[in-house]
Amino acid sequence: MEIGSFLIVFFMVRYIRTSLQTAERFPEWDRMLLMVQYVATGLLVSDIFLDSDFTKWVWHLLLIGMVGAAYLLKDFRPVRNVWLAVGPFILISLFGDLVELIVPDFYESIKTMVEIAEMFSFIWMVATWFITRKQQKALEKERLKRQQEEEQNRIIASQNVMLEQIVAERTAELTRQKEELEQTLTELKATQDQLIQREKMASLGELTAGIAHEIQNPLNFVNNFSEVSVELIEELKEERQKTDRDAGLEEEILADLAQNLQKINHHGKRADSIVKGMLQHSRASTHEREPIDINNLADEYLRLAYHGLRANDKSFNATLLTDFDSNLGKVSVVPQDMGRVLLNLFTNAFYATEEKRKTGLANYQPTVQVITRRIDGETIELRVRDNGCGIPASVLNKIYQPFFTTKPTGQGTGLGLSLSYDIITKGHGGELVVETEEGKFTEFTIRLPT
């Protein structure tokens, strides 16, 4: 009995201290539990050396006190169920000792049964402890698992906060970069508009000499016919002052005056159309389409470009060939934009032929040809072909890129073909294609829907 009680007290105290972690959580209870172990050890020694019946009642009081403490003190409630395993052993041993004390004879008759009951209660206690210990380990494992999950959740929450902060900082950075890019884009657009306007002014400068040459012819006619008309009027006045007036001569003079005025009107309109064309070319495009005669537009800009180049270089000369389809009809286009396209193509063609001429090639005659055709009921085609130096194959895929030019620095902005391509494809829904062979020819083809 004493050894069993000692083992029960010893292992129960150890179990309580370990399970409840009394050394950290309940230092005062931990000292009392250690004292209980010392008392139990002392009682065991007393039983061995003194062999007194008094100690067994102390064991009963000690076990009952520990069970009572487990049920009455809230700090020990987590280990309360473990004492259920000890209960049967305490009750049976207490019952046997009381019967032995009060009715010794009866105890002798049931002693074997009491000992068997104590043995089974001890086995029950040990089995219950093992099961409880196993459950405790499972619960501890589950607790540790929950603790790990909580720790992981805490770490994840901390990481989420950090990520949200990083995302917020990155978003602010991207917003700042976006604003900077938008500002840069706005500045680039403004710069592009300025460069486009400069390109227009540059092409207008190229036209100026040609326009001066073209406008001089009708002005000469106007001046000449005006002078002749003044002389005819003076002659008519003299004839009317005569007493024998010649009616036939007067009619003839009046007819000449009428004819002169018609020619003055014709050449005045010609000069007016040239000036209007110059103004249209210089001002910003309205993007409003008008039905115009492509043949007349191409012929006019071809001569303006040619005479403009000759005004800058008297040695320049080229053969101009035109093959216009008389059944072309009028096409709805933006006149200013289409004029810029034609001027760019003609200027580039003349430049290519002049560069080839400067190589000193024998029997070379610079030639620029303009052809218009109606391909079908919905498309017209305008070709500008020159027998100049051609375009190298290595740069052919770059010719429509903004600011790309094969001309020497200061002789080209690199926007002419880029603007022409955008005007034809985006502005008019057409095509601008090129066919070339280096050293032989270049031919640009414009296809427009009618």
Give the tens place of pLDDT for each residue, 45-102.
666 666 556 666 777 677 777 777 666 667 666 666 666 677 777 777 777 777 877 8
Q: What is the mean pLDDT of residues 442-449?
A: 93
Pair 446, 306: CB distance under 8 Å: no
Which residues have a Cβ under 8 Å from the Cβ of 198 and sit 6 or more positions away? Answer: 413
Q: How far, in Å, CA of 423 to CA of 420, rounded?
A: 5
Q: Is residue 274 predicted with pLDDT exceeding 70?
A: no
Which uninterrupted H or E stretch holds 319?
strand 319-323
3-state secondary structure of 231: helix
The rounded distance, in Å, linking the Cα atoms of 280 and 289 is: 13
Give me the residue label for tokens 């010649």: 246
For 414: left if phi > 0, alpha if psi spans -120 to 50, otherwise beta; the answer is: left
Q: Are 283 and 334 in contact (CB under 8 A)?
A: no
One-letter amino acid identity for 440? K
Higher pLDDT: 392 or 247? It is 392
Q: Domain-by-domain residue ranges, the chain?
A: 2-156, 287-450
pLDDT for 449 beyond 60: yes
Nearest of 425, 419, 381 to residue 399 by alpha carbon: 419
Mean pLDDT, residues 149-159 taken together: 89
Which residue, chain included where needed, has tokens 């040619």?
A: 306
Residue 278 has pLDDT above 60, yes or no: no
pLDDT at site 2: 54
At position 406, the amino acid (one-letter code) is T
pLDDT higher than 70, residue 287 = no
How many Cβ atoms sit within 10 Å of the Cβ of residue 67?
18
| pLDDT, greater one: 325 or 255 | 325
Comparing CA positions, the residue from 354, 384, 366 lying closest to residue 318 is: 366
Contact 342, 410 (CB under 8 A): no
**CB of 343 within 8 A of CB of 203?**
yes
The tokens describing 145, both together, are 């698992």
CATH topology of domain 287-450: Heat Shock Protein 90 (3.30.565)
Residue with tokens 């403490």: 69
Q: Bridge partners of 381?
A: 373, 447
Instruction: For residues 346 and 414, give the distance between their C-alpha atoms in angstroms, rounded to a whole number.
Output: 15
Long-range contacts of 41-44 (CB under 8 A, 24+ apart): 41/6, 41/10, 43/2, 43/6, 44/2, 44/3, 44/6
On the CB side of 415, CA atoms within 13 Å amount to 16
DSSP 356-411: HHTTT-TT---EEEEEEEEEETTEEEEEEEE-SS---GGGGGGTTSTT---SPTTS
Residue 371: pLDDT band (50, 70, 90) is very high
Tell me the pairing of strands 367-376 and 379-386.
antiparallel
Split at pLDDT 50, 70, 90, the class of 315 is confident
Residues whose CB falls within 8 Å of the CB of residue 74, separated by 6 or more in sequence, listed in order: none
Query: 3-class SS at 337?
Result: helix
Instruction: Note the pLDDT of residue 431.
Output: 92
Token duo for residue 96: 């046997």
DSSP per-residue string spanning 52-94: -THHHHHHHHHHHHHHHHHHH-GGGGGGGGGHHHHHHHHHHHH
Q: Is the dihedral of CA 291, 294, 299, 304 positive or negative?
A: positive
